[in-house]
Structure 1
Amino acid sequence: MEHPVVVGVDGSDGSLVALDWAAEEATRFGLPLRVVYASLWERYEGGVPSATGERPEEEVAAQHIVTSAGQRARQLAPGLEVNAVTVPDDAADALVKESDSADVVVTGCSGRGAVRELLLGSVTLAVAGRARCPVVVVRGEERNVKGHSRRVVVGVGEGEEATGAVRFAFREAAARGCELQVVRAWRDSRRPTDPLSVLDSAARAYAEEAAAALDEVLEEALTAHPGVAITRTVVEGSARRALLGPAADADLLVLGATRRREGFGLHLGRVSHTALHRAGCPVAVVPHR
């Protein structure tokens, strides 16, 4: 059974951009596309007949969103298998449930222009923080969203999440036929970062250790995708800064899902959280499975 590319829609401009991206992704990998519109009205009011006999406005709006989204996807990618549905659930909960059987879940990003750095929908954050498959948040300028940069960037962190992110990034770069930039940041905790300082022996050891860890993580993926051209970047400093620069000229930034339990649920780590708010291109958050 093929796992579909799932995209959440709500009729907004951002969700239409996500829909287009998801349709291209499904076509790229030969997968079906599942378009999901979630509505709590369907749960609480959907089975109650209207007193006037007319269709409620909520039902009409939901049907319009789902139908038009399905038509848009089919027009963009003729021959693509598209299943557009309305589900009676909260949007975040619905997409997290969809992640159980999805290849990837795609969502849009809130805000326009400069405010995109400040606004990110609660649904998007919740899905990225809880989904059990990769989640792609479609953001950035048109050239980044449309794949004109011909480059995928992946941040390699610590632990098992790094392996999943690297696998996903290689898969994307291979399917797109583009370059993959692999970024690993390191820090010498003894001193503040100074790009003009000369590396002493201890700092050089940090850098060499980071490079060795990078090679170890890449070994399996390089064997699976020998045709992918890669660029290794090992840099001292904050991982967030090291990734946001390359992301501005990329088609996709891939990160492992570093999650921490806080308050009432799971929350993303600082690097993922920053990237989802500020990256100049679509961001994929990949959990370890």
Structure 2
Amino acid sequence: MTLSLVVGVDGSEPGLWAADWATDEAALHGLPLRIVHASLWERYEGPVFAQAAELPSEHVLAQEIVDRAAERARQRNPDVQVTVDIVPDDPEAALLRESGRAAAVVTGCRGRGPIRGALLGSVSHSLATHAVGPVVVVRGSPHNRRGANGRIVVGVGEAATSAKAIRFAFREAEARHCALDAVRAWRRPAHRTLAHPLLAGDTAHHHEERAAALLDDVLRAPEHEHPDVPVHRVTAEGPAHHVLLTHAATADLLVVGASRRHGPLALPLGRVAHAALQHADCPVAVVPQRAAA
């Protein structure tokens, strides 16, 4: 059975950007597109219907929201099969449910919630934190959202959190016929261990070599499976989130992994994914991977 690509819309401009991106993504992978609007029928206060003499009923408004997004998708690519669904439920709960039966769930970076100045909307954050499948948060400059750079960036962390993200990134690069930058950040320890024979010389060189060796190891299998994808290995010194954001500044998509098992003091998403979702200047795909028990 072919899974659908699901996009959540709420009538906001970021929601329409997400619908545009999802339409292009569905066309790239030959997937049907399912447009979902979930609401508990709160009164809409956004700009779309601000000029109307009377606000329509909540249900009529919901229908107008999905119809507008569907028409926009059909105009953007008539070959994409588009369906719509209106779910009378909390948006977070509804889209989390969708994540278990979709190829991916796409959402805008902000919705029409009460905290309009937030860098990341609560629905997007909840999806990225708890979804069982890939979540794409469409953010960044219009140029990067259009996919005009011909480059995808994937952050390479430990195998427990990045293996599925790496395979996701290879599939995206293959579908787009573009290059893939696999980025591994490294840092020198705060205190040098002079007694260790491997650290007796140039410690920077040693840590950079370890980062390069890790890239070779984790990329070996996916490179074999996707031989037509040009892969650029990038090792850079510095905090991982700074390194990734720098390299993704002119990318079409940033892919990061996320473990679904954390210690009590860990951030729910991890620092790298959290920073990417808050600050990246391009769409961000968060690909979950369940850590071994």
TM category (shorter chain) comes to 0.7 to 0.9
What is the DSSP-based 3-state SS (H/G/I as helix, E as strand, rest coil) of the residue aligned with 2:268? strand
Q: d(CA) in 2 for partners of 1:182 and 1:259?
A: 22
* Cα distance, 1:252–1:116 mapped onto 2, change above 3 Å: farther
8 Å CA contact 1:259, 1:269 repeated in 2: no
Q: Deviations over 1:12-66 (max 9, x none)?
A: 0000000000011001000000101001239xxxxxxxxxxxx971111111111
What displacement does 1:191 show?
5.0
- Corresponding position of 2:197: none
- Corresponding position of 1:282: 283
8 Å CA contact 2:170, 2:226 repeated in 1: yes
What displacement does 1:207 show?
1.7
What displacement does 1:259 show?
4.6
8 Å CA contact 2:110, 2:118 repeated in 1: no
Provide structure 2 residue ranges, at least 5 long, that are not aligned to the other structure. 43-54, 193-199
Provide structure 1 residue ranges, at least 5 long, that are not aligned to the other structure. 43-54, 193-198
Aligned amino acid, residue 219 of structure 2: L
- Corresponding position of 1:107: 107
- Corresponding position of 2:39: 39
- Corresponding position of 1:67: 67
Q: d(CA) in 2 for partners of 1:97 and 1:271?
A: 25
- Corresponding position of 1:244: 245
Aligned amino acid, residue 205 of structure 1: H
Q: Deviations over 1:61-84 (max 9, x none)?
A: 111111111121112110211111
What is the DSSP-based 3-state SS (H/G/I as helix, E as strand, rest coil) of the residue aligned with 1:125? helix
What displacement does 1:261 show?
4.8
Aligned residues: 267
Aligned amino acid, residue 163 of structure 1: A
Q: d(CA) in 2 for partners of 1:84 and 1:219?
A: 40
TM-score between the two structures when normalised by the length of structure 2:
0.85
* Cα distance, 1:2–1:178 mapped onto 2, change above 3 Å: same
Task: Please state if 1:166 is matched with 2:166.
Answer: yes
Using the TM superposition, name which of 206-215 and 117-126 deviates more. 117-126
Q: What is the identity percentage for the equivalent residue pairs of Structure 1 and Structure 2?
A: 53
- Corresponding position of 2:222: 221
Q: d(CA) in 2 for partners of 1:279 and 1:250?
A: 10
Aligned amino acid, residue 157 of structure 1: G
Q: d(CA) in 1 for partners of 2:233 and 2:14?
A: 33
1:37-186 equivalences in 2 (<5 Å): 37-41=37-41, 57-110=57-110, 119-186=119-186
What is the DSSP-based 3-state SS (H/G/I as helix, E as strand, rest coil) of the residue aligned with 1:31? coil
What is the DSSP-based 3-state SS (H/G/I as helix, E as strand, rest coil) of the residue aligned with 2:80? coil
8 Å CA contact 1:116, 1:278 repeated in 2: no
Q: Deviations over 1:204-243 (max 9, x none)?
A: 2222211111111101110111011111111121001111
Aligned amino acid, residue 101 of structure 1: R
Aligned amino acid, residue 153 of structure 2: V
Q: d(CA) in 2 for partners of 1:218 and 1:261?
A: 25
What displacement does 1:118 show?
5.1
- Corresponding position of 2:2: 2
Q: d(CA) in 2 for partners of 1:138 and 1:79?
A: 22
Aligned amino acid, residue 239 of structure 2: S
* Cα distance, 1:266–1:104 mapped onto 2, change above 3 Å: farther
Q: Deviations over 1:162-197 (max 9, x none)?
A: 1111101111111111111110011122359xxxxx
- Corresponding position of 2:17: 17
Aligned amino acid, residue 104 of structure 1: A
8 Å CA contact 1:259, 1:266 repeated in 2: no
1:186-201 equivalences in 2 (<5 Å): 186-190=186-190, 200-201=201-202
> In angstroms, what is the RMSD of aligned CA positions?
2.4
Q: d(CA) in 2 for partners of 1:248 and 1:237?
A: 16
